[in-house]
């Protein structure tokens, strides 16, 4: 082989690697749910019309259908199973029963409308996520979005 041939060969293999790589990327994207759900509503966390759903074996309370729909969308786009709402009674059979004492502390944000009709916020810290979900489930109070880690501000 002369130098010219070797360099052509190298260039061709390089292109082949690129091509196969691109092919892999595109099939991986199709398989990973293709982000079909891109409806991201702007939801009011204060408007209360509770939606209940059992999520990964735990009853979750959502403040309203808008937030619930967004959560569903996010899950679908992450290849997780879609959510389906259920009655409060059914859901509450899945309130966390026993929670560990330790773990990562979380802060739950509980938006509500006060008696003067004003948007208000209550922040409650829990020793862990399980205790937050238990509180929310047992008291029919929704926390908005994912809790932040650590103590409340
Ligand atoms: C969840 O999202 C999927 C995908 O967009 C949709 O087909 C399904 O109806 C949604 N479920 C609910 C309960 O909103």
Question: pLDDT tens for residues 70-107?
Answer: 999 989 888 899 999 999 999 999 999 999 999 999 99
Assigned domain for 8 exists: no
Assigned domain for 5 exists: no
pLDDT for the residue numbered 36: 75
Assigned domain for 106 exists: yes
Assigned domain for 60 exists: yes
Assigned domain for 126 exists: yes
Query: What residues flank ligand 1, with Cβ below 6 Å?
Result: 37, 69, 72-73, 76, 82-85
Question: What is the CA(119)–ligand 1 centre distance, in A?
Answer: 29
* Backbone phi, psi, residue 53, to 5°: -150, 140
Domain of 74 in residue numbering reads as 51-149
pLDDT for the residue numbered 113: 96
Question: What is the CA(99)–ligand 1 centre distance, in A?
Answer: 30
List the residue whose alpha carbon is closest to atom 4 of ligand 1: 37
pLDDT for the residue numbered 120: 97
pLDDT for the residue numbered 7: 63
Assigned domain for 115 exists: yes
Assigned domain for 29 exists: no
Domain total for the chain? 1
Residues of the chain with pLDDT under 70: 1-34
Assigned domain for 62 exists: yes
């Amino acid at each position: 082989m002369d130098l010219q041939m070797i360099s052509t060969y190298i260039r061709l293999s390089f292109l082949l690697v690129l091509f196969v790589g691109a092919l892999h990327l595109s099939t991986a994207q199709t398989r990973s749910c293709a982000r079909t759900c891109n409806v991201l509503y702007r939801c009011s966390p204060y408007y209360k019309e509770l939606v209940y759903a059992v999520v990964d074996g735990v009853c979750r309370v959502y403040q309203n259908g808008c937030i619930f729909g967004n959560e569903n969308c996010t899950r679908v786009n992450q290849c997780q199973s879609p959510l389906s709402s259920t009655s409060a009674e059914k859901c509450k059979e899945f309130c966390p029963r026993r929670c560990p004492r330790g773990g990562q502390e979380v802060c739950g944000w509980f938006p509500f409308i006060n008696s003067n009709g004003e948007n208000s916020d209550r922040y409650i810290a829990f020793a862990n996520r399980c205790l937050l979900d238990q509180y929310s489930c047992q008291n029919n109070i929704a926390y908005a979005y994912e809790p932040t880690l650590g103590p409340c501000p």
